[in-house]
Amino acid sequence: MTIDRTSLRWNGWGPAAQPDALPKESPAWQWIADALGINTPLPETPATPLEKCTLPASGLDGETRLELERIVGANQVHTGDYERAFHARGKSYHDLLHVRAGNLSNAPDAVVYPRSEDETQRLVEFAAARDIVLVPFGGGSSVVGGVTGREQGEKRLCITVDTTLMTSLLSIDETAMTATAQAGIYGPALDKALASQGVRLGHYPQSFEYSTLGGWVAARGAGQNSIRYGRADKWLVSAHVATPSGLWRTEATPGSAAAPNLNQMVAGSEGTLGIITEATFKVHSLPDAEDYRGYLFRSFAEGADAIRRIVQSEIPTAMLRLSDADETFFFRTLGGIGKEHGLKDNLAEAYLRLRGYADRPCALIVGLEGSAANVSHARDRVARIMSACGGLHVGRSPGTSWKAGRFHGPMVRDPMMDHGLGVDTLETSTFWSNIQTLHSAVREAIDTSIRETLDDPSARGIVMAHISHAYPDGASLYFTFVFPRRLDRGLEGEVAQWLTIKRAASDAIAAHNGTISHHHGVGTDHAPWLGQEKGPVGMQMLGAVKQSLDPKGVMNPGKVLGDGIGN
């Protein structure tokens, strides 16, 4: 079962029909405007409807269309406006600036939906022979420019290959605890199929509902419970990839010393080497017990120290998520707006004041999953470390409400963009010894660069961050920032505003020893910083692999190895 494209927003996030996540009459708008130093009413900035957008004519000629139809079937080759608009770009803030403004100049000439590995391989070989560009597309949830159709200056025919008709769970090896599925299966469908056999992969990115197995591997992502279930490069056992040089089957053994592990070339390849048609991955028994709960810390440093100690003590947790003081304040205030403030809340506040947690606290959510005995044992050990590090237990409700809304946060972005506000996120990781330095440097870079882009001296951004994934040696930092959009200079001015902020943040990450991406990938947006991270020899190796598998450069050109930020 796949998701009908027309049931989804082509220029936003989630279902086409969905309740407004931030209704017009909500008092939250005024609070956000005040926090941003905006003294005028927020403007109405709705997205351009499709019928008013400029779509370049498809360059697909009749003969090529016939050839494509011979490979994938007549019903699987699309050149209609909706299909081309849906596949023009991904879901980054930068992507949304373009599509909401009605600029669909990146739309591919056609979208094709292969139904099998054989069709995909024939399609890739056909494209290579004809020098036709192919852009692999799963859920299209890339936030780094990974699925942009025609890159600027690309003259060749451009076809997006949508994998979402390849949705079968092919097999489960209950003895080895691995499973194999076709790459185009969406998160919920995969989860359901695995759960019916008593197992799960456990990969839950925030985009889970609208992203695919192939996209998770290709972008080398991490789910919210990555501490327990691992990132994509950890749970991937093997893959089949349709490349211009033939079908590539990576080796599948639990451990091997037979030269470097080529699965690591698939994870993170972002469609530049070929199209992943199926993947084999590790699975886990469904947990008997779950425990999600909250703690408060007086400082980000104390909370980070608690996470480090828990992970280094090898206590089996599924998730540890620490918000900095700004993020804690933002979500607590936003969540409380419009709600009646009763006696219970007053007592809770008085208690926090008394214990010294009222002044800019940092919230930490702990998630535990597994057998009842393991969860209970882990809960006690976690509680001891939290307490030793200054954490205050605040009960289950922050944990359960975080879990219930774990995929809903992004629904707020469209209404914000409809009211002149920009919202973007970026992420990195570093060693524990550097985490506070990197947090401060990137926070400062985003805050300063937002102010630089605004004329009004009282206007500013809201910048917040959390630790989202933890390892024994370090952790990731995930930044979210909200800012008043530069609406006065059109699309070009808005892209320039975004570029100023993005460059400042990325330069700060590179200067302070963070990775340019912990889990979103490289796409076009992070490509200019990749060389600094991999070094000249590393870049030469990546280029040589690309050249060897895809000598004509038809597979997702401009991504990962390009330099096209802002395209």
Residues touching ligand FAD, count (CB under 6 A): 38
271 makes contact with ligand FAD (CB under 6 A):
yes
Question: Which tokens in the block code for residue 243?
Answer: 């490349």
Query: Which residues, at least 6 apart from 496, have a Cβ–Cβ distance to it below 8 Å?
Result: 453, 486, 489
State which of residues 123, 236, 265, 276 lies at the interface with ligand FAD (CB under 6 A).
276
Q: How far is the C-alpha of 228 from the C-alpha of 265, rounded, in Å?
A: 23
493 is in an annotated binding site: no
Question: Which tokens in the block code for residue 433?
Answer: 């010894």
139 makes contact with ligand FAD (CB under 6 A):
yes
222 makes contact with ligand FAD (CB under 6 A):
yes
CB of residue 359 vs ligand FAD: minimum separation in angstroms? 30
State which of residues 12, 146, 370, 461 lies at the interface with ligand FAD (CB under 6 A).
146
Q: Which is nearer to ligand FAD, 280 or 453 (CB)?
A: 280
Residue 1 contacts residue 189 (beta carbons within 8 Å): yes
167 makes contact with ligand FAD (CB under 6 A):
no
564 makes contact with ligand FAD (CB under 6 A):
no
401 is in an annotated binding site: no
270 is in an annotated binding site: yes
Residue 560 contacts residue 538 (beta carbons within 8 Å): no
SS3 291: strand
State which of residues 10, 86, 137, 402 lies at the interface with ligand FAD (CB under 6 A).
137
523 is in an annotated binding site: no
Rounded (10°) angle between helices 28-35 and 325-336? 150
193 makes contact with ligand FAD (CB under 6 A):
no
214 makes contact with ligand FAD (CB under 6 A):
yes
CB of residue 477 vs ligand FAD: minimum separation in angstroms? 14
x/- letters, 512..531, toward ligand FAD (CB under 6 A) = -------xxx----------
Helix/strand/coil (H/E/C) assignment for every residue in 211-265: CEHHHHHHCCCCCCCHHHHCCHHHHEEEEEEEECCEEEECCCCCCCCCCCCCHHH
> Interacting stretch for ligand FAD, rule CB under 6 A, among 93-101, 213-221, 283-291, 398-406?
213-221
435 is in an annotated binding site: no
Q: Which is nearer to ligand FAD, 239 or 296 (CB)?
A: 239
Return the residues of window 383-412 that contact ligand FAD according to CB under 6 A. Answer: 410
Told to judge if 478 belongs to the known catalytic residues of this protein, a careful annotator would answer: yes
The helix or strand, by DSSP H or E, that contains position 8, with its residue range, turns out to be: none
Residue 498 contacts residue 484 (beta carbons within 8 Å): no
CB of residue 216 vs ligand FAD: minimum separation in angstroms? 4
CB of residue 298 vs ligand FAD: minimum separation in angstroms? 28
**437-475 core/surface letters (b: 16 or more CB in 10 A; e: else):** ebbebbbebbbebbeebbeeeebbbbbbbbbbbbbeebb
362 makes contact with ligand FAD (CB under 6 A):
no
483 is in an annotated binding site: no
Closest CA to 526 of 211, 117, 94: 94
140 is in an annotated binding site: yes
322 makes contact with ligand FAD (CB under 6 A):
no
Residue with the CB atom nearest ligand FAD in the bound state: 215
Q: Are strands 77-78 and 178-182 parallel, antiparallel or unpaired?
A: unpaired
**For residue 172, what are the CA distances in angstroms to 138, 144, 195?**
22, 33, 11
Identify the bridge partners of residue 247 per DSSP, sorted by sequence position: 242
205 makes contact with ligand FAD (CB under 6 A):
yes
The string of DSSP letters for 86-109 reads: HTS--SSHHHHHHHHTTB-TT--S
Q: Which is nearer to ligand FAD, 389 or 412 (CB)?
A: 412
207 makes contact with ligand FAD (CB under 6 A):
yes
> Interacting stretch for ligand FAD, rule CB under 6 A, among 70-78, 193-201, 268-276, 487-495?
268-276
38 is in an annotated binding site: no
CB burial of residue 125 (10 Å; 0-12, 13-18, 19+)? middle
SS3 478: strand
Q: Which residue has the tokens 């530069």?
A: 486
216 makes contact with ligand FAD (CB under 6 A):
yes
Dihedral angle sign, alpha carbons of residues 28, 398, 363, 287? negative
Q: Which is nearer to ligand FAD, 140 or 361 (CB)?
A: 140
- For the chain, first and last CA: distance in Å? 34
> Interacting stretch for ligand FAD, rule CB under 6 A, among 101-109, 199-207, 346-354, 490-498?
199-207
251 is in an annotated binding site: no
221 makes contact with ligand FAD (CB under 6 A):
yes
> Interacting stretch for ligand FAD, rule CB under 6 A, among 210-218, 342-350, 364-372, 483-491?
210-218
Question: Which tokens in the block code for residue 491?
Answer: 């699309």
Q: How far is the C-alpha of 429 from the C-alpha of 387, rounded, in Å?
A: 26
CB of residue 142 vs ligand FAD: minimum separation in angstroms? 3
State which of residues 79, 206, 312, 436 lies at the interface with ligand FAD (CB under 6 A).
206
CB of residue 23 vs ligand FAD: minimum separation in angstroms? 20
Q: Which sequence positions are flagged as catalytic?
A: 478
Q: Which parts are annotated binding residues?
A: 136-142, 270-276, 413
By CB under 6 A, name the binding residues for ligand FAD.
13, 90-91, 135-143, 146-147, 163, 183, 205-207, 211-212, 214-216, 218-219, 221-222, 270-271, 275-276, 410, 519-521, 556, 559
Q: Which parts are annotated binding residues for substrate?
A: 413
